[in-house]
């Protein structure tokens, strides 16, 4: 994959949409889906089961994210690196004391899930 830097207007949020990370372990497959909405809320699903909801914001290439699992009043901060045709994003921790969130996000590349019309 080729990494490229992108600039976008402040009002454009490149994370809006569905992003998925998958891996197959000896115990079975694991899929993490993050759904980011334009209103600043997000939901997380592990193997299609909801496990977290929270709020987020994006400023330039930085994500600020919070949820009740890790104290809604505290935001973790991550650098966003968009890859390829902006269809993948890597999250790298800048600062986050929430061990669970760091473990599910830091250094991982999530691929954008294209929504198809039926």
Question: Is position 108 within any domain?
Answer: yes
Range of the domain at 90: 17-113
Residues in the chain: 118
Question: Is position 12 within any domain?
Answer: no
Question: Is position 53 within any domain?
Answer: yes
Q: Which two tokens stand for residue 21?
A: 């990370």
Q: What is the DSSP letter of 105?
A: H
Count of structural domains within the chain: 1
Q: What is the DSSP letter of 3?
A: B
DSSP assignments along 31-88, one per residue: EEEEEE-TTSEEEEEETTEEEEEEEEEEETTEEEEE-GGG-TT--EEEEEEEETTTTE
Question: Is position 74 within any domain?
Answer: yes
CATH for 55: 2.40.128.490
CB-based contacts of 44: which residues, under 8 Å, 6+ apart? 32, 33, 34, 35, 50, 51, 52, 53, 67, 104
Question: Is position 65 within any domain?
Answer: yes
Question: Is position 10 within any domain?
Answer: no
> Residue 65: its pLDDT value, please?
96
Question: Is position 3 within any domain?
Answer: no
Q: How far is CA 44 from CA 15, 22, 32, 112, in A?
A: 14, 13, 7, 14
| pLDDT tens over the chain, length 118 residues | 333 444 444 457 899 999 999 999 999 999 999 999 999 999 999 999 999 999 999 999 999 999 998 888 889 999 999 999 899 999 999 999 998 889 889 999 999 998 776 5
Question: Is position 5 within any domain?
Answer: no
């Amino acid at each position: 994959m080729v990494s490229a830097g992108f600039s976008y207007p402040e009002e454009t949020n490149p994370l809006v949409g569905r992003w998925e990370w998958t891996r197959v372990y000896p115990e079975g497959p694991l899929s993490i889906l993050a759904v980011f909405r334009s209103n600043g809320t997000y939901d997380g699903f592990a193997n299609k089961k909801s496990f977290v909801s929270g709020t987020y914001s994006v400023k330039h290439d930085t994500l600020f994210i919070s949820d009740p699992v890790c104290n809604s009043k505290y935001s973790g901060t991550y650098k966003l690196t968009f890859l390829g045709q902006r269809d993948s994003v890597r999250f790298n921790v800048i600062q986050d004391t929430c061990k669970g969130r760091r473990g599910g996000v830091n250094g991982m590349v999530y691929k954008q899930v294209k929504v198809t019309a039926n």
